[in-house]
Structures are given as C-alpha cells and as structure tokens.
Amino acid sequence: MVKLWRCEICGDPYIGESPPDNCPFCGAHRRYIKEAREAQVNFDVELNEQDRANAERALQVEVSNAAFYFCAAGKTDDAEGKLLFKALGKVEAEHASVWRKILKLDKAPAANDTCHVPNRENLQDSHARETRAIGFYKQAAAEAENERVKEIFEAFVEVETDHLELSGVRLGEQG
C-alpha cells in the first residue's frame, strides 16, 4: 500500500510503499524518514551565537558545493560524471535550503564556484570538498547546543560521508 512519508531532516514528502533508504531530496538516511503524520519537522529553533555562526557557515558550504556540482554537471567530460554531479548538486542545494530555513532567510546567498572539464579533476575537487564538510559538520555537531541543529549536522555528516565514498570509488575507477 502506498503511503506518504516525510523526511525529518529536510521536511520534504515522499510517496511510496516503504520509506526509501535515503531521502531522495537531502540524502538523509532511512531512520529520519517517517510516515508523514508521525514525522516531527521543526525549522523554528532558537540559535545561540555558536549555533548561528555554524549554521551560517554551513549554508555557505552547501551553496558553494551546489554551485560547484552544477558547474561540473555542465562541463565535465564524462557522461556518467554529468549525472553524478547533477544529483550531488541537487542534494547540496537541498542542504542549503535546510540551513536557510533554520536561519529564517528568504533566499540563500549566491555562489559562482568554478569547476573543471576533466572528470578526474572534478572528482578530486569533490573529494576535498566533502572531506572539509565532514570535518566541519562533526565539529559543529559536537559544539551544538540546540538538539535540532545537532541532529541536522549529524545527519549531514552521514550524507556527506556517502558522497565522499562515492567520489572515492569513482576516482579509483578512473585510475
């Protein structure tokens, strides 16, 4: 029987017989996806100075990464790479949307990150970006006073780790 599911990290709905392994929008793992009527989604949180600063930095990271991935999707010289970078760009843009909601901003800041034509260079850049994001998100989660902010950072550590593993596999395939 088809049900309505909702991701507790990004808040987006999903229709299916069962919850997906990962949110199709933000990539959050299955444990964050609940039947819509049971999902608890809250973006109206109180931020102390440290949580606000980390959320603002996270927004910049995600906007930058989304811009890079969309650039790579358009320029890379590998057909499968174009698909990978398009998918990663969508997920990073969704992450930016989550931070925008937490920060109560009408729109996300602009970014104009550059990319490369050779797919291997884009994969290397992706690997470095994901590594930096994971390190920062782990630190931000440890520093978080607000439990919702901590939950989002922890969920995004898992998603960015998935991205890091994927870029690492792709790099290995390209020798």
Considering Cα of 85, then 90, then 91, then 97, what sign does the dihedral take?
Answer: positive
What pLDDT, in 10s, does the model give residues 154-175? 999 999 999 999 988 888 887 6
Which pLDDT does position 175 carry in this prediction?
A: 67
What fold is seen in the domain 49-173? Ferritin (1.20.1260)
Report the C-alpha gap between 105 and 108 in whole angstroms.
7
| pLDDT score, position 154 | 98
Burial (0-12, 13-18, 19+ Cβ within 10 Å), 118? middle
What is the reported pLDDT for 172?
85
Q: At what angle do helices 49-75 and 79-102 cross, to 10 degrees?
A: 160
pLDDT one-digit tens code per residue, 87-128: 999 999 999 999 999 999 999 999 989 999 999 999 999 999
Using pLDDT thresholds of 50, 70 and 90, give the confidence band for residue 9.
Answer: very high
Q: What predicted TM-score, i.e. pTM, was given to this entire model?
A: 0.96
Report domain extents, the chain.
Answer: 3-35, 49-173
SS3 96: helix
31-61 tens-digit pLDDT:
999 999 999 999 999 999 999 999 999 999 9
